[in-house]
């Protein structure tokens, strides 16, 4: 009998039978999400991209798979006592939801400064939320202390064989549902549970199929561990869902066994992937959820002309953050032009500039006119414009039209 059947002791390695069994347990409790080919993403990346849309899960992320399977493995005594988890993200809602569906008490420990929206959503699934500590590490220590004191089963977000097996059902479904034979699979990596489970399934179903993990450059912990290097991570990232310092030991061992490669992508590629998914595929992805597409953008030579499957593993992105990403991408693509002009402070100048911009087809969306202190002369003023354009070529044409009228223009 597999150690997974006991929901307890760690197994030295995961088997495909464990993933298959997990698929049976979670059927009906977790959505079998669709997989589709995105023409827009395929054109942008130079490969044929199949997107597995696990952002459509009830809680907006793939984490439900592992939580549902782990809770299904609880003994009657464990169910009676209840479960506890530590998370400030998708794992919290996943455990809360599936404990509620099973009629089991659930406590979720979150750091004290967790955004109120995440607390409310987790409580909305029926869990008791305990706010403790200033960091995830402090919250985790408190969760383990509560588990010991109250006899609760701790459900780890990625270093648990039952959770890993549940996450592996993503690849099982992808390989069953792909409309064509895939040449590679790409999965985001945080603690490693998703990649380890999916690599295990792929190795059994398609021996020799390349499977890649993806980390963001500020948090390449799994790549460093696989290479035998000390872990050096940190800094802000939009991919907070995979911003992990301490990867799971069980996933690490499995990925070493399967010789799985992990790619490291720059922060900018993740932002570009979020924007590409939103604008091109009409899919909302959080930073971690877009990491697979980011790898296709960052390493085009690795995937050129191939049929590649990747998972949009989460869609829980703050609306303000998404808006900022889209605006930053418009600036990078040259579809928003920002210019500063030193102009004479006399009647009609603003109208003249607006007319010249309009004549080339630009649309002024923001104006800042500084008269009192920005200019070295009281006879001059400084004007900052944000202009919507079709592309960089139209932006250049607008600048040329302004300079032809002797305005001093500086991009900003």
**Domain boundary residue among 263, 293, 328?**
328
User: Is 126 domain-assigned?
Assistant: no
Instruction: Confirm whether pTM is higher than 0.85.
Output: yes
Whichever domain contains 393, its CATH number is: 3.30.70.260
User: Is 90 domain-assigned?
Assistant: no
Q: What is the pLDDT of residues 327-342, one digit of tens each?
A: 999 988 889 999 999 8
Q: How far apart are CA 304 and CA 187, in angstroms?
A: 17
User: Is 38 domain-assigned?
Assistant: yes
> What is the DSSP-derived secondary structure letter of residue 94?
H
Which pLDDT belongs to residue 118? 87
Average pLDDT over the chain, rounded to an integer: 93
User: Is 272 domain-assigned?
Assistant: yes
Residues 343, 285, single domain; the answer is: no
Burial per residue of 248-261, b for 16 or more beta-carbon CB atoms within 10 angstroms, e otherwise: bebbbbbbeebebe
Whichever domain contains 178, its CATH number is: 3.40.50.1100
How many domains are there within the chain? 2
Residues 297, 192, single domain; the answer is: yes
Residues of the chain under the 70 pLDDT cut: 1-12, 371-379
Which pLDDT belongs to residue 2? 39
Please enumerate, as own/partner, the contacts of 110-116 that have beta carbons within 8 Å and a separation of 24 or more.
110/86, 110/139, 111/135, 111/136, 111/138, 111/139, 114/88
Which pLDDT belongs to residue 149? 96
Which pLDDT belongs to residue 116? 86
User: Which tokens hold the place of 411?
Assistant: 């991009």
Domain holding 373, by residue range, is 336-411
Which pLDDT belongs to residue 115? 83
SS3 107: strand
Residues 252, 356, single domain; the answer is: no
User: Is 143 domain-assigned?
Assistant: no
Which pLDDT belongs to residue 344? 87
**Domain boundary residue among 296, 328, 360?**
328
What's the CA dihedral at 277, 279, 280, 282 to 10 degrees?
70
């Amino acid at each position: 009998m597999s150690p997974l059947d006991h929901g307890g002791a760690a197994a030295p390695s995961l088997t495909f039978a464990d993933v298959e069994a997990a698929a049976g347990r979670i059927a009906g409790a977790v959505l079998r999400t669709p997989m589709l080919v995105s023409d827009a993403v395929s054109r942008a990346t130079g490969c044929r991209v199949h997107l597995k849309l696990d952002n459509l899960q009830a809680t907006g992320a793939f984490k439900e798979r592992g939580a549902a399977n782990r809770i299904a493995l609880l003994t009657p005594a464990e169910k009676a006592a209840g479960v506890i988890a530590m998370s400030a993200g998708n794992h919290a809602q996943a455990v809360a939801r599936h404990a509620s569906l099973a009629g089991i008490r659930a406590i979720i420990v979150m750091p004290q400064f967790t955004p109120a929206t995440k607390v409310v959503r987790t409580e909305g699934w029926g869990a008791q939320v305990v706010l403790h500590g200033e960091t995830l590490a402090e919250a985790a220590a408190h969760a383990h202390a509560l588990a010991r004191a109250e006899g609760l089963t701790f459900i780890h977000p990625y270093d648990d064989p039952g959770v890993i097996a549940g996450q592996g059902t993503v690849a099982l479904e992808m390989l069953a549902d792909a409309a064509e034979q895939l040449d590679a699979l790409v999965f985001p990596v945080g603690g490693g549970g998703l990649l380890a489970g999916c690599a295990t399934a792929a190795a059994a179903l398609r021996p020799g199929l390349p499977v890649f993990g993806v980390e963001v450059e500020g948090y390449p912990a799994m790549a460093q561990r696989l290479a035998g290097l000390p872990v050096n991570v940190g800094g802000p990232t939009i991919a907070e869902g995979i911003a992990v310092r301490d990867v799971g030991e069980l996933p690490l061992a499995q990925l070493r066994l399967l010789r799985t490669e992990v790619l490291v992508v720059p922060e900018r590629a993740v932002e570009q992937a979020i924007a590409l998914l939103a604008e091109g595929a009409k899919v909302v992805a959080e930073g971690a959820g877009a990491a697979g597409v980011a790898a296709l953008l960052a390493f085009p030579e690795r995937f050129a002309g191939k049929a590649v499957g990747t998972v949009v593993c989460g869609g829980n992105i703050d609306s303000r953050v998404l808006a900022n990403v889209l605006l930053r991408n418009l600036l990078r693509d040259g579809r928003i032009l920002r210019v500063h002009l030193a102009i004479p402070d006399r009647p009609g100048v603003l109208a003249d500039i607006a007319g010249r911009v309009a004549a080339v087809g630009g649309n002024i969306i923001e104006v800042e006119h500084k008269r009192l202190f920005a200019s070295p002369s009281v006879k001059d003023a400084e004007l900052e414009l944000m202009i919507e354009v079709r592309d960089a070529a139209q932006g250049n044409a607008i600048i040329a039209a302004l300079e032809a009228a002797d305005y001093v223009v500086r991009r900003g």
